[in-house]
Chains A and B, each alone.
Chain A
Amino acid sequence: MKSFEYLQPTTLEEALAALPTSRDPKERERVRLIAGGQDLLTEMKEHLAEPDLVVDLKRIEGLDKIRVQSDGSLVIGATCTLAALEEHAHVREHFAVLSRAAGSVGSTQIRSVASVGGNLCQRPRCWYYRSEQIPCIKKGGAECFAYSGLNKYNAILGGGPSYIVHPSDLAPALVALGAEITLRSATQQRILPLERFFTLPSEGRVQQENDLGPGEMVVELKVPSLPAGAGTWRSDYFKVRERGSYDFALAALALALLVDDGTIRGARLCLGAVAPIPWRADKAEALLVGRKVDDEACRLAGEAALAGARPLEHNGYKLDLTRGLISKALRQLASS
């Protein structure tokens, strides 16, 4: 790891003042924020990130808190750990999908320090990107080597010109819940739907997976309560891994269903690990409403969620896997 200076500010203002406001990517990369460091340190050890200054956010009072508002909604600070999120009693009871997604990340050791903000801003796992020697398009090169190379773990939806998948487990859960993200810079604050925070490589910024601007950092997430309606909301996170102990997802699904006497009155579906962004399946959501969970509903939802999918040479299995996951998840939640 290259040496760097280490700053431990105690206020948000101090941390924001340390961030470069230049639009030049080289200038921006000179400073990196750290909370748990579970992704950043692996990037630094592989020389994918070589900042001159690392700003530690863990001493900023209150930035790691989960607050439950009077209407039952959540405000989650950016440096809140995944372990704290998983174990929070209100989150477990009212936002099960979020608790379960947090609990599915990495190992116990990783969850005890990894942060919510860091999980959302973590870099892709594609091995061409992670290999220091390979000048792939994510690192400013001309080509996505996964496209014609070994692409078993890459995108089947939304790919091009880069075919990474977004590795976050929290992102699909939070998008399904309709969360908003608050970004702050030294001079302004922006609140946007989390769904819009993540950006496709075709949207212009291939080297970045989100809309973070110069000098900006993630400050908190607001998670509204699911809208009241007839019946009860049930939610869960379904993750398929190649290895049972701990791993990134091959395919994942954040699902919330409002079920009344066997009929779906509301649905939220967001896929993970199949696209460069968390993949909200709004067409599938719409067609599920008013139906009972049966073979036909499962088939239609799978078809709608995967509409437009273009698998690469080695990842066609993700189509069947995702269809199966949607079917299993719908049946499980509807009958629970």
Chain B
Amino acid sequence: MAALNLTINGDRLETAAPDHWTLLEVLRYRLGLTGSKQGCDKGDCGACTVLLDGQPVLACLTLAGLAQGRAVTTIEGLMPAHAREGKSGADPVQDAFDRCGALQCGFCQPGMILSARALLNANAHPTRAQIRAALAGNLCRCTGYTQIVEAVEYAVAVAAGVEPAPRAWETPRARLTDIEEQGTRRPSGQARP
């Protein structure tokens, strides 16, 4: 058992855990931060991804002692960090995942969002290939990858102040509805181009 001095989501915390506990175990079972998920627990799935000094790491393969003196960001910390910057609502990446329906069961989502956050912090305008590479270590067993990549692209577009590209599920019908709402409805009976 050792005392641990950790900085989690900007808070300095002191706790104690056996030396062989991982950062993931301390987060979940000492600090009650259960947003970081315990999936495979051996570095295959990425569900436990947290940021360590801004870099995505696997909390299940990080000894808690190793995280001392470094800044840990978990999914619980994104919204407060966003608020500290004087902005309202969720982190734009969280918001984009919400708007794009980038989840099915949701288990991979905290890790996905943190990997995406780290990517966008380093590169504000990633290509689709770069997004896919940055998220390669996060597995989604529901295989909802299309919406997940779209969500990251949506967050990029919003940050850049440009119109997001149409998403895969946006059928011509859904897009026509958008046009109608904006009051640009075609005269009835006119053929669609």
Which A residues lie at the B interface, using CB under 8 A? Answer: 1-6, 8, 34, 37-38, 41-42, 44-46, 54, 56, 58, 83, 106-110, 112-113, 245-246
| B102-134 CB contacts (< 8 Å) to partner A | 115, 118, 133-134
Nearest B residue to A83, CB-CB: B55
- Cα of A38 to Cα of B66 in the assembled complex, Å: 13
- Cα of A112 to Cα of B57 in the assembled complex, Å: 7
Which B residues lie at the A interface, using CB under 8 A? Answer: 2, 18-20, 22, 41-43, 46, 49, 52, 55-58, 60-63, 65-66, 115, 118, 133-134, 136-138
- Verify A41–B22 contact, CB threshold 8 A: yes
- Cα of A56 to Cα of B43 in the assembled complex, Å: 19
Taking the closest CB of chain A, its distance from the CB of B127, in whole angstroms, is 15
The interface residues of chain B lying within 8 Å CB-to-CB of A107 are: 46, 136-138
Nearest B residue to A245, CB-CB: B136
- Verify B42–A42 contact, CB threshold 8 A: yes
Can you show 15 pairs from A to B with CB atoms below 8 A apart? A3-B18, A38-B43, A38-B61, A83-B55, A107-B46, A108-B56, A108-B134, A109-B46, A109-B57, A109-B58, A109-B115, A110-B61, A112-B55, A113-B55, A245-B136
- Cα of A205 to Cα of B48 in the assembled complex, Å: 37
- Verify A110–B20 contact, CB threshold 8 A: no
- Cα of A83 to Cα of B56 in the assembled complex, Å: 11
- Verify B49–A109 contact, CB threshold 8 A: yes
Taking the closest CB of chain A, its distance from the CB of B109, in whole angstroms, is 16
Which of A34, A83, A110: most chain B CB closer than 10 A?
A110
Besides the known contacts A6-B20, A109-B49, 18 further A-B residue pairs in the complex with CB atoms under 8 A apart:
A3-B20, A34-B66, A38-B43, A41-B22, A41-B61, A42-B42, A42-B43, A46-B42, A54-B19, A106-B43, A106-B137, A107-B136, A107-B137, A108-B137, A109-B43, A113-B55, A113-B61, A245-B137
Given contacts A3-B18, A3-B20, A109-B56, whether A37 and B134 have CB atoms under 8 Å apart is: no
The interface residues of chain A lying within 8 Å CB-to-CB of B62 are: 37, 113
- Verify B61–A37 contact, CB threshold 8 A: yes
Taking the closest CB of chain A, its distance from the CB of B36, in whole angstroms, is 12
- Our pick among A5, A45, A108 for the contact of B136 (Cβ within 8 Å) is A108
Taking the closest CB of chain A, its distance from the CB of B63, in whole angstroms, is 6
The interface residues of chain B lying within 8 Å CB-to-CB of A109 are: 43, 46, 49, 56-58, 115, 137
- Verify A6–B136 contact, CB threshold 8 A: no
The interface residues of chain B lying within 8 Å CB-to-CB of A3 are: 18-20
- Cα of A260 to Cα of B49 in the assembled complex, Å: 47
Nearest A residue to B58, CB-CB: A109
The interface residues of chain B lying within 8 Å CB-to-CB of A41 are: 22, 43, 60-61, 63
- Cα of A176 to Cα of B118 in the assembled complex, Å: 33
Which of A4, A107, A112: most chain B CB closer than 10 A?
A107
- Verify A37–B66 contact, CB threshold 8 A: yes
Nearest A residue to B19, CB-CB: A6
The interface residues of chain A lying within 8 Å CB-to-CB of B65 are: 6, 8, 56
- Cα of A46 to Cα of B42 in the assembled complex, Å: 9
- Cα of A34 to Cα of B19 in the assembled complex, Å: 13
Nearest A residue to B63, CB-CB: A37
Taking the closest CB of chain A, its distance from the CB of B58, in whole angstroms, is 5
The interface residues of chain B lying within 8 Å CB-to-CB of A1 are: 20
- Cα of A45 to Cα of B133 in the assembled complex, Å: 27
- Our pick among B42, B58, B115, B138 for the contact of A45 (Cβ within 8 Å) is B42
The interface residues of chain B lying within 8 Å CB-to-CB of A38 are: 43, 58, 61
Taking the closest CB of chain B, its distance from the CB of A228, in whole angstroms, is 35
- Cα of A2 to Cα of B20 in the assembled complex, Å: 7
- Our pick among B63, B136, B138 for the contact of A56 (Cβ within 8 Å) is B63
Taking the closest CB of chain B, its distance from the CB of A287, in whole angstroms, is 37
- Verify A4–B19 contact, CB threshold 8 A: yes
The interface residues of chain B lying within 8 Å CB-to-CB of A37 are: 61-63, 66
- Cα of A38 to Cα of B44 in the assembled complex, Å: 11
The interface residues of chain A lying within 8 Å CB-to-CB of B61 are: 37-38, 41-42, 110, 113
- Cα of A84 to Cα of B63 in the assembled complex, Å: 21
The interface residues of chain A lying within 8 Å CB-to-CB of B137 are: 106-110, 245-246
- Verify B63–A108 contact, CB threshold 8 A: no
Taking the closest CB of chain A, its distance from the CB of B114, in whole angstroms, is 9
- Cα of A51 to Cα of B56 in the assembled complex, Å: 27
The interface residues of chain A lying within 8 Å CB-to-CB of B57 are: 109, 112-113
The interface residues of chain A lying within 8 Å CB-to-CB of B63 are: 6, 34, 37, 41, 54, 56
The interface residues of chain A lying within 8 Å CB-to-CB of B41 are: 45
Nearest A residue to B139, CB-CB: A245
- Cα of A107 to Cα of B62 in the assembled complex, Å: 15
Taking the closest CB of chain A, its distance from the CB of B50, in whole angstroms, is 9
- Cα of A318 to Cα of B98 in the assembled complex, Å: 45
Nearest B residue to A43, CB-CB: B42
Taking the closest CB of chain B, its distance from the CB of A90, in whole angstroms, is 20
The interface residues of chain A lying within 8 Å CB-to-CB of B136 are: 107-108, 245-246
